[in-house]
Amino acid sequence: MKGLFRKDIYVLTSIGWLFILMDVFFAAIPDLRFYAFAALYAVMLLVFLMQSDEQYKWDTLLPMLPVSTRQVVLEKYIFCWGYIALTALLAVGGQLIWSRFGYMPLGPEYFTVLCFNLSLALVAQAIISPLIFRFGTAKGRLIMIVLVAVITGISVSIISDGYDFILSLIEIIRSWRLIVFAAALSVLSLPLSVALYGRKLSK
């Protein structure tokens, strides 16, 4: 599976550098409304990588390679999970720097909203991934655009109204439980993506 990682890293660094640059920009801005874009932008990485595979006819070459459908899907999931985690680290690192200049102190409220946005990203990834693996990027992209727009709108509107709503929500559902639920949903979508991708390749 190392070869799969190398392929996607090469694609991302050779033709996807603008994608990385925009994600770093959104993650580093000292405003959590923009981090909502960074987290969901990381989910869009799957669409970018799958589109590259379709463009270079990877699906037609896959049956001739010593990799299984499960390995291909798992590699994409791990890649996306790692990228989502990387955006969180970039956001925290950037916030540490900005806080020294008096922008938005790095307090409990910050991590509460950070967990909220990470949960949204994982839920979006859990919903979008099976659709992309089943219908491809052409049809799946339309569904993804609608879903990302809705989730981003919810996140930005809530954060724009202040932390009160989220903090009251966390009183019922603690942030770590929200993350665990979203992560579990993302993991549970993996076998569904494997089955749907296998069905697509068998046609």
Per-run averaged pLDDT (10 residues), the chain, 203 residues: 84 74 73 66 79 80 83 91 84 77 66 77 86 80 69 60 53 65 91 90 75
Q: Which of 43, 46, 60 is nearest to 8 (CA)?
A: 46
- Reduced to 3 states, what is the DSSP secondary structure of residue 85? helix
Predicted confidence at residue 160, as pLDDT, reads 55
* Per-residue model confidence (pLDDT) at position 167: 54
Nearest to 76 by CA among 43, 32, 121, 109: 43
The contacts of residue 77 (CB under 8 Å, 6+ apart) are 129, 186, 190, 193
140 by Cβ neighbours in 10 Å (0-12 / 13-18 / 19+) ranks as buried
**What is the pLDDT, as a whole number, of residue 125?**
86
Q: What is the pLDDT of residue 187?
A: 93
Q: Using the Cα atoms of residue 111, residue 22, residue 158 and residue 105 in order, give the sign of their dihedral.
A: positive
Tokens of 100: 């020294």
Return the SS3 of 107: coil
pLDDT at site 172? 44
Burial class (CB in 10 A: 0-12, 13-18, 19+), 84: buried
| Cα Rg of the chain (Å, integer) | 18
The confidence score (pLDDT) of residue 184 equals: 93
